């Protein structure tokens, strides 16, 4: 992924959380799990990308994430009610 990010010139930092400390800190439960932070680094969104699922016929649009980003860019508040992500659960390493 690091090479992929470099080749595709991601305009944001790419993080590989080998120790899983970041996932633990943000209470990540599944992948993908999207978190959006405002200018004050406050998490204002934690939820799904959109309503698409492998088991339904809904198209992948990124509607929920796009809506959140648009609100932030427009200086509007992000509604506190957010649809949680659905995906594969995180396989936790032995946390001793």
DSSP string of 58-87? -----HHHHHHHHHHHTTPPPPS--PPP-S
Task: Tell whether 96 is covered by a domain.
Answer: no
Beta pairing class for 43-47 and 30-31: unpaired
Task: Tell whether 95 is covered by a domain.
Answer: no
Task: Tell whether 56 is covered by a domain.
Answer: yes
Domain count, the chain: 1
The per-residue pLDDT for 81 is 92
Q: Which residues of 46-57 are buried (b: 16+ CB within 10 A; e: fewer)?
A: bbbbbebeeeee
pLDDT tens for each residue of the chain, 96 residues long? 889 999 999 988 888 889 999 889 888 888 888 999 988 989 999 999 999 998 899 999 999 999 999 999 999 999 999 999 988 899 998 765
The per-residue pLDDT for 95 is 65
Whole-prediction pTM: 0.75
The per-residue pLDDT for 47 is 93
- The boundaries of the domain holding residue 27 are 2-89
CATH of the domain at 18: 3.40.30.10
Q: Which two tokens stand for residue 47?
A: 């939820």
């Amino acid at each position: 992924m690091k090479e992929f990010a470099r080749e595709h010139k991601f305009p944001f930092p790419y993080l590989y959380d080998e120790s899983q400390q970041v996932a633990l800190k943000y209470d990540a439960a599944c992948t993908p799990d999207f978190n959006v932070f405002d200018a004050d680094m406050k998490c204002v969104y934690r939820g799904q990308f959109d309503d698409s699922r492998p088991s339904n016929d809904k198209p992948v649009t990124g509607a929920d994430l796009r809506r959140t980003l648009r609100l932030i860019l427009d200086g509007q508040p992000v509604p506190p009610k957010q649809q949680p992500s659905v995906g594969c659960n995180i396989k936790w390493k032995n946390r001793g």
